[in-house]
Each structure stands twice: as C-alpha cells, then as structure tokens.
Chain A
Amino acid sequence: MGGMHGMGPIAPEHAEPVFHEPWEGRVFALVRAMGAWRKWNIDASRHQRELIPPADYLRMSYYEKWLTGLIELMIKRGLVTRAEIASGRASPATPKAQPALTADKVATLTAKGSPADREVARTAPRFQAGSPVMTRNMNPEGHTRLPRYARAKRGTIDRIHGVFVFPDTNAAFQGENPQYLYSVRFTARELWGDQEHASPDDAVYIDLWESYLEPAA
C-alpha cells in the first residue's frame, strides 16, 4: 500500500505489549507450528493474506489476517477440511498425525531460520552497482514483490544482495526459480514527482529481483 493516501495518522502505543490478547500469541505460534509441515512457503503465506478481500483486509487486525490466511492455506493444502473448521472436530476417518514441530525444536527453528538465498550456478548478474535500470510495468494477478508505486520507474542499482528465491513463482508453488536480488535506489522525485518538503537527495531503496528490471540508458 506504499504511497496511498487517506490511511490517517500513525498511532504509536505507549508501553505496547508483544501480544494484546493471548489469542494473538496463539495465532502467531500456530502459523509457525503449521509452517513446519512445509506444505507451503513464506511467499505462499504472504500471498494468502493478500487474497483477503481489500475491505476485509483493511478492517481486520493483524493477527486476524494471519488467522484467516492460515485457515485458507491449511484447507488448500489438505491439512484440514472446511467442515472440520466449521465443526471444530476432526472428521472421524482421518488418522492422527505426529506434530511436525515439537517444543524441543522451537529453539532451533528460531535460531536457524530459513535462509532464502540459493547457491545456484548461473550466469553473472545482469546489472552492477551503479547501473541505471527501469522497473517493468507489470500487473500480475498473483503474488509479486514489485510494489505498485515502483512500477515503470527509473532507478539505480545500489548493491547486489545475491541469488534469492523468486517469490512470484514460489508463492504459486511453481518453483523457487532463484535469481539475482538487488537493492535499487529511486529518488523520491522519480517516484512521487516534485514534492515541496523533499530534499533532492531523498530516496527510497527497494529490494527487487532481476526479472523486475530492464536496463535503462
């Protein structure tokens, strides 16, 4: 939602708790614990939350969105049925599973994480630090990490991060297709036009995959 107007003031909360209600912590933990089944990936998880209809998305609290996304993914990937969600009881026919994540594995899960870079033998990066680039004007129906406000904009490669899993295909279970990831610098003026209060040096840096970019003169 970068660049949208009308969302109102930012409201920092004094002495904010990590979770406002116990159920928020349970949703957070359920998402992590069910993720351990590896029936989906982080990109599919983000995409599922983006599939929440916009009006609901703006109305829901953060962890309500997580809850909604989790339920839909579990159904989609065959871990539960909609009937089970509705009734709250397991259907009698299903065998009982062994949890993918047990308490003794939690410390390892949080300490190791899931690196998203890939060592893939492939060609040299198409761009170097300092290369001028244009972002593509693309509006895919599925998941992408090229923000709307940065499409068809001119930027400069700031640095090469390495080769990373490509979310657009990974979210759709169409493979990791790793490719080079760059930090791209865009001047505020390029993104937003002349702004009264911006300095000419103000800039936004966005992490973008190689296929989002084309060479610019």
Chain B
Amino acid sequence: MLTLQCPYCGVDAEETELTAGGEAHLKRETVGASDDDFEGYLFMRENPKGLHFERWRHSYGCGKWFLAARDTNTLEVFGTYPAQSKEPPKDLRDKISAKRPGWSWREFK
C-alpha cells in the first residue's frame, strides 16, 4: 500500500485517506496560447515507468493538496512537498539524484 506523508498535517497517510490528482507541475496554457501549447496542456501527460511527480489530496484528513515524487515501478516514495511549490525542492532533488543518478522529468533534473 502506498503511504505518503502529508506536508501539512505531518501524518503518514495511507492510500485510502488520499485522492490522486494526476500529474504535478502542469503549466496552464490560457488566452493567447498557441494551439499546440494548449493541446499539450490539455492532453499530453508523462507516463513514465520510474520516477514520477504527482498531485495528491489528503481528502479524508486536512483536505489540502500536496505534491509527491515517487517511482511508479518500485512504488518507492522519495518525498512530498507543498502544492505551492513551482518546482521540486532542492533537498528532494538531491535525494532523488542519490538514488537515480542522471534522472530527468519534464524540465526538471
């Protein structure tokens, strides 16, 4: 079972307390965006076998959204961080680098 630590309540919440919210760090394309960019925003998603960044909501707990980095293959969780983050925090990226040297995900590496 997947267990993620909610960065707001600090509890190790298990899967049944959480709601999955799809991919993290999507950049919203809006008025003035090209058709290609808008299509990308609407439909194009990462689907890696390995490191992935996701949105989760602690729906049965504090009700807050947060972001998580985990491996879709091994189910290893690297860490969670607040939803207000524009990019994964430095310490989390360092932690991932230690375990998955040379990793990259969208524009992050």
**Chains A and B come from one and the same complex:** no
Q: Which residues of B contact A (CB under 8 A)?
A: none
